[in-house]
Amino acid sequence: MNGDLEIDASDRLAKSGPRGVDRAAVMVEATLRLLGQSGLEGLNVRAVLKEAGINRRIFYEHFSGKDDLVLAVFAKSVQLTADACRSDMTGIVSPVERLRCVIFRLAVGDPRPGEDWGPALRRGAALCREHLRLAEARPERLHAALEPVLELMAQTIADGIAEGIIRAGSPGRLSKLIYNMLSTTVHAELLASVADAGSPQRRCALAEEIWEFCRSALVGAGI
């Protein structure tokens, strides 16, 4: 669609009245359910409209197309992840251990209430693949959607630098490096066609490997 017609989903959510916000949220939730059911296969505007019980006119009042909707889903998912990470960090004093909490939750994911691991892993795999595509197609919008998690990691790294337990550097740049490395590593694992690549056990093992790499780079031996 023509760039002049593109709509920033977050702006629409902010500017719409209560009825509009509710309908946008319904479509985002419907998309999250569809991703959990079948991943990216079959995800299109028609399927979302059917799942949400909303007509096409209402859809285009809120989103310019599928990419715009997926970015809103990203924003919702990332905000939920950031909130969960903050909850995980409660009572943890060490910035290094707090950062470990973030990396594990990003790498492993988490079922939504009432779900088992199947939908959570399918949804996570789908969003991981979309992340790589949107990083090229919509880099500014994707960065805005990722901001809650990037800011949380950057603040945690900054705390560690201030305490002298994380090597000096730019917290913002380091948080982006970690996120990009993590997302591409998980994506590569999923594409490897390993039988258990998407299992919770394999994802936990992968998270541990990613964490050890990050810890060695940020903290170093003997700290």
pLDDT of residue 95: 96
Share of the chain above pLDDT 90, in %: 52
For residue 197, give the DSSP letter. T
- What domains can be seen in the chain, in order of their start residue? 67-218 (1.10.357.10)
- Say if CB 107 and CB 202 are below 8 A apart: no
pLDDT of residue 75: 92
Helices (H), 109-199: 117-137, 139-162, 171-191
Q: How confident is the model at residue 156 (pLDDT cuts 50, 70, 90)?
A: very high
Residues 6+ apart with CB under 8 A from 152: 82, 85, 86, 102
pLDDT of residue 22: 78
Q: Which residue has the higher pLDDT, 174 or 120?
A: 174
Tens digit of each residue's pLDDT (9 = 90 or more) over 6-48: 444 444 444 444 444 478 999 999 999 999 888 888 789 999 9
Instruction: Look over the chain and give the mean of its residue pLDDT values, rounded to a whole number.
Output: 83
Q: Give the C-alpha separation, 67 to 8, whole Å.
A: 11
Residue 194 clears pLDDT 80, i.e. is over it: no
pLDDT of residue 13: 42
Name the least confident of 70-74, 122-126, 195-199, 218-222. 195-199
Burial of 140 (0-12, 13-18, 19+ CB in 10 A): exposed
pLDDT of residue 165: 94
Site of tokens 């969960």: 84
pLDDT of residue 114: 78
- Spatial CA neighbour of 134 closest among 182, 71, 178, 66: 71
Q: Give the C-alpha separation, 99 to 49, whole Å.
A: 38
- Say if CB 90 and CB 156 are below 8 A apart: no
Torsion of the alpha carbons at 209, 212, 214 and 217, rounded to the nearest 10? -130
pLDDT of residue 26: 94
- Considering 27-31, 42-46, 109-113, 139-143, the range whose residues carry the highest mean pLDDT is 27-31
- Say if CB 137 and CB 6 are below 8 A apart: no
- Helix 171-191, helix 95-108: angle, nearest 10: 30
Task: Kindly tell me the sign of the dihedral angle through the C-alpha atoms of 106, 140, 147, 82.
Answer: negative
pLDDT of residue 9: 47
Residues 6+ apart with CB under 8 A from 20: 12, 13, 61, 62
